[in-house]
Chain A
Amino acid sequence: MRNRLIAGAACAALALSVAAGCGRDADEGAQTAKEVGAGKASGEITVWAMGTEGEKLAEFAKGFTADNPQAKVTVTAVPWDAAGQKLTSAIAAKQTPDVSMIGTTMQGGLAKTGALDVTPTDLFAKDTFFPGAWDTTVVDGTSYGVPWYVETRGIYYRTDLAAKAGFPAGPKTWDELTAMAKALQATAGAKWGINLQPGKTGSWQSVLPFGWSNGAELTKDGKYTFDTPQLAEAVGYYQSFFTQKLAPANLPQGALEPAFIRGEIGAFMSGPWHVGILNEQGGKGFAGKYSVAPMPAEKSSTSFIGGSNLAVFKDAKNRDAAWKFLAWLSKPDVQVRWYQTVSDLPAVQSAWTDSALTADPILKVFGEQLKSAKAPPAYPTWDQIAAVFDTEMEKVCVGGEDPAAALKRIQSQADSIGTGV
């Protein structure tokens, strides 16, 4: 009995003390950048980087130490799996490094925690980078980091089958894409003209480029705008591939590449990494049988831009040196060398004039596309809204729902969830 009373009192005390310190303050307002200043970098710079980048960066960073002998770059490789969880937990426990690589869609949420340092204006200029990539670092008007590498989407297609179908140069417009898909099935023996992701996680990366190509804007005056006629038209166009049986609604995972290699699927939408997969799986000679076309144009040819950014943490122990390291990584020649090390496409525009990137025709297509590619808004709630979007897209593609009605539902959810800014 006494034990229960004591326990109860303890709980009440805890609750009261927590309540006393609680409550939101008014918004801090826009943050300003602090300058970094000239001179060489010194001290240890701790960096977190994911995947292959994490593996290769330590060796690559020796170039920076050659230029700045007093500085040392320590890289900790972090798995992509659960990387977001690792970053948010580190922020919660104040265990952040100086620098971290951050996926473009994670930027909004992390910036809003206040854990990221504002990009110094004396070291970085906005127009050095692709506009879409720079926009992924901007939250509420302020930039919190710099783009590192980018990726975008295009239409992979079988050149031999497309030639048979009467489209030797690939599809250029929306009408041509539909016609090519039909012709691939009718005359070139493909089972499916094209593969498009039918909803589910990440499908927004396939659908939104069509929306942007039709002039749709996702935000206006600081709010989400999904319920627009341009986006509805684009979703309707996307849906038409499923209703006309040009795209499979239920392709099993892992079946895409073998089917493309066998000629059962004539085309699909994806990014630069698929080149490696196709060449691996297709074997010798397959590289000559396919190519990549830019997003087919309606009002414009606009694709999605993704990739990763680099950010410095507010609690960084070696802030100035960290930013200098990022400035070094953003130099055009360093970006080219990084591409040659891990095949990451440079985020810096002038790097693309280098011969390493101009020689390959598929790379040229991606490079052109990057100039105008767009990214979703860097709002903290984007992940959640994207999930709603994906669920509705599944209903549209697989269940045949009306696109305008689906977009209305997405809009109402987006309104209630808000932008989080």
Chain B
Amino acid sequence: MTAIATAGAHRAGRTAQAGAKRWRRAVTGWSFAAPFTVLFLVFLALPVVASLVMSVTDMRATDLRTPFAVDFVGLGNYQRLFGDDLFLRAALNTVVFVAAGVPLTIVAALAAANALNSGLIRFRALFRVGFYLPVVTSIVAIAVVWRFLLDPEAGLVDDLLARVGVDGPNWLGDTRTSLASITVMAAWRNFGSLMVIFLAALQGIPANLYEAATIDGAGRWQQFRRVTLPLMRPALLFGAVITGIGYLQLFEEPLVMTQGGPLSSTLSVSYHIYNQFGFGNYGYAAAASYVLFVAIVALSVLQFRLLGTRDD
């Protein structure tokens, strides 16, 4: 009798102990998470809810003083979007841009980070600052120089092409090449940030792994594929997701370089949304923003599937 009772008491004690442990873990976890979560809920989550509600109304800028005096339109804004030619064109442009731009930027950043991390190079700090400069240079200065570079008559690119006997196109003025030009320019501008992130990630790979690989006879390329890439997976995933998110919201480059032209060939979804907010079509623009959000989520889910580890 006593044995069963004590056994029962022991079992109860152990479950109580397990429960207490879970409670302690919850408290610890949430105390780490609390400061961020409070700020997050108040300043980020609340406005998101408000804007979601905005997207199912016909709210315009003229309703700003009386935001509740608007009509519900349900999914009307969303339906209108898919009949809007400009929006569809912008969506196509953005998809093409992301499909080409994200890999291009990642490869450039990875190559630069790897090159600057290897022991071969001196003056690494100089190169690091240099490659980061496009990120911090004023977009106006960038626009002037790039417009000049791509000028069909006086520009450097077409000049070089002419020497090889190729008649270079009007890069920014031709609807067939404008998006490609913007893509290259955006990759050039943004790979510096990614490079910085990849550099930091490369620091976390222990040197002895490379030593062991060299002893095993692995060449530089093999070491890159077998040691570097796998260990950089979390950083690569981060880089891909962040770049995807950023590029799906491409805005500044078309705004400053081509104003969405020629003939809407470089109009991006974010630029279209910006215009709609400018016209005061708040409900409609909010709906477009959330369609963009869905696209961003979809791309990120795909990237998590491809590059994530098991516990992501």
Direct touching of A and B (C-beta under 8 Å): yes
A interface residues (Cβ-Cβ under 8 A, vs B): 11, 14-15, 18-19, 21-25, 84-85, 88, 91-92, 94, 109, 112-115, 200-201, 250, 252-254, 380-381, 383-384, 387, 391, 394-395, 398-399, 420
Chain B residue at minimum C-beta to C-beta distance from A394 = B263
- B64 interface contact, C-beta 8 A: yes
A114 touches B279 (CB 8 A): no
- B72 interface contact, C-beta 8 A: yes
B261 touches A22 (CB 8 A): no
- B208 interface contact, C-beta 8 A: no
Contact with A along B262-279 (1 / 0, CB 8 A): 111000000000010111
- B177 interface contact, C-beta 8 A: no
A22 touches B173 (CB 8 A): no
B271 to chain A, nearest CB (A): 12
Partner of A88, one of B64, B72, B144, B264: B64
Contact residues in B for A115 (Cβ distance below 8 Å) = 64-65
A8 to chain B, nearest CB (A): 13
Which of B55-63, B99-107, B180-188, B215-223 makes up part of the contact surface? B55-63
A22 touches B263 (CB 8 A): no
A420–B282 Cα gap in the complex (Å)?
14
A84–B61 Cα gap in the complex (Å)?
11
- B71 interface contact, C-beta 8 A: yes
A25 touches B69 (CB 8 A): yes
Partner of A387, one of B170, B261, B263, B275: B275
Contact residues in A for B64 (Cβ distance below 8 Å) = 88, 91-92, 113, 115
- B53 interface contact, C-beta 8 A: yes
Knowing that A84-B278, A92-B64, A420-B62 touch, tell me 4 more A-B residue pairs with CB under 8 angstroms: A15-B53, A380-B61, A383-B279, A391-B264
Partner of B263, one of A15, A23, A254, A399: A399
- B280 interface contact, C-beta 8 A: yes
B interface residues (Cβ-Cβ under 8 A, vs A): 49, 53, 57, 60-72, 144, 147, 151, 170, 173, 259, 261-264, 275, 277-281
Contact residues in A for B144 (Cβ distance below 8 Å) = 254
Partner of B68, one of A18, A84, A109, A380: A18
Chain B residue at minimum C-beta to C-beta distance from A91 = B64
B69 touches A18 (CB 8 A): no
A250–B171 Cα gap in the complex (Å)?
12
Chain A residue at minimum C-beta to C-beta distance from B258 = A200
Partner of A200, one of B62, B70, B71, B259: B259
Contact residues in A for B261 (Cβ distance below 8 Å) = 200, 394
Contact residues in B for A253 (Cβ distance below 8 Å) = 147
Contact residues in A for B49 (Cβ distance below 8 Å) = 11, 14
A342–B147 Cα gap in the complex (Å)?
33
A387–B64 Cα gap in the complex (Å)?
22
B65 touches A113 (CB 8 A): yes
Partner of A398, one of B259, B263, B275, B281: B263
A379–B170 Cα gap in the complex (Å)?
38
The 9 lowest CB-CB distance pairs between A and B, nearest first, are A112-B62, A384-B279, A92-B64, A21-B68, A250-B173, A113-B62, A91-B64, A383-B279, A88-B61
B76 to chain A, nearest CB (A): 14
Contact residues in A for B66 (Cβ distance below 8 Å) = 114
A22–B57 Cα gap in the complex (Å)?
9
A24 touches B151 (CB 8 A): no
A381–B262 Cα gap in the complex (Å)?
24
A114 to chain B, nearest CB (A): 5
A23 touches B63 (CB 8 A): no
- Offer 14 A-B interface pairs, CB within 8 angstroms, sorted by A: A14-B53, A19-B72, A22-B57, A22-B68, A22-B69, A22-B71, A24-B70, A85-B277, A109-B61, A113-B63, A200-B259, A252-B147, A380-B60, A387-B279
Contact residues in A for B263 (Cβ distance below 8 Å) = 391, 394-395, 398-399
Contact residues in A for B62 (Cβ distance below 8 Å) = 109, 112-114, 380, 420
B278 to chain A, nearest CB (A): 7
A388–B147 Cα gap in the complex (Å)?
26
Chain B residue at minimum C-beta to C-beta distance from A315 = B65
Contact residues in A for B151 (Cβ distance below 8 Å) = 252
A24–B65 Cα gap in the complex (Å)?
13
B280 touches A380 (CB 8 A): yes
Contact residues in A for B63 (Cβ distance below 8 Å) = 113
Contact residues in A for B279 (Cβ distance below 8 Å) = 381, 383-384, 387
